[in-house]
Amino acid sequence: MTSIGYWISAEYQGRGIMTACCQALLNYGFAELGLNRIEIRARTDNEKSKAIPIRLGFKQEGILRQVDLNHGHYYDHVVFGLLKDEWKVLPWANSKGY
């Protein structure tokens, strides 16, 4: 298992860049490395970051409370998981785009 984390500057958001990058990482992780599980975590208040795993077929699994300290304030993270068997049936799975 592994996890994917990402950040992209505002000027490049909304172009599908991060979704494409995550697809390539998922294909590589499952097809080439033989992983069984990949996670993505995002702050609960970050709708754009949460949209990526949802778009890619991840399942929301839970909330980690106050795991992120930023500028003196604690934030919760939502945990998304994708299993190899779930990935195999996705229309873009295993495309050699990495």
* Tens digits of pLDDT across the chain (98 residues): 999 999 999 999 999 999 999 999 999 999 999 999 999 999 999 999 999 999 999 999 999 999 999 999 999 999 999 999 999 999 989 766 55
Amino acid at 69: L
Q: Which pLDDT score is estimated for 37?
A: 98
Superfamily holding 2-88: Gcn5-related N-acetyltransferase (GNAT) (3.40.630.30)
Domain boundaries, the chain: 2-88
Question: What pLDDT does 95 receive?
Answer: 64
pLDDT at 96: 64
Q: How far apart are CA 81 and CA 78, in angstroms?
A: 10
CA distance 64 to 33: 27
Distance, in Å, from the CA atom of 60 to the CA atom of 89, rounded to the nearest integer, reads: 18
Rounded to whole angstroms, the Cα distance separating 86 from 58 reads 8
